[in-house]
Amino acid sequence: MIARLKNLTQPQLEPFELKYCATFMTKLQGLMFKKDLEPFYGVLLVETQDSVVNTTIHMLFMNFDICTVWIDRSNTVVDIQLARRWHLMYKPQKAACLVLETHSQHMKDFKLGDKIGYEII
């Protein structure tokens, strides 16, 4: 499935087109082994409830750094980190149920407290 995501607080020129990852296998694979990443592409890792543990990510087998945005169930950004390739673990400062992994150029496009909107297409 594909999700289209927008930052409603700081609108982007175009929405992000994301692989919607709600199963264990799709979340496990994420962006691993990809050679590169298009600027407005990425993955949206989906959990059923807010959690720090279940939204912790690893960067093993990654070929590039990514912008990682954690979003809680009220669709509010609760953490943003530049995740470096081959780093063991990144966890959010607050519980989240969505993890946006996208191109590292988008680090300045999100701020804590931003409201996010997305739809499955």
Q: Tell whether the model's pLDDT for residue 120 goes beyond 80.
A: yes
Rg of the Cα atoms in the chain: 13
Number of domains in the chain: 1
Pairwise CA distance, residues 105 & 49, whole Å:
28
Q: What is the pTM of this model?
A: 0.95
Q: Residue 83 domain-assigned?
A: yes
Q: What are the pLDDT digits (tens) for 75-104?
A: 999 999 999 999 999 999 999 999 999 999
Q: Residue 115 domain-assigned?
A: no
Pairwise CA distance, residues 24 & 113, whole Å:
28
Q: What are the pLDDT digits (tens) for 55-67?
A: 999 999 999 999 9
Task: Say which CATH number the domain at 21 has.
Answer: 2.60.120.1140
Q: Tell whether the model's pLDDT for residue 43 goes beyond 90.
A: yes
**Which pLDDT score, from 0 to 100, does residue 106 have?**
95
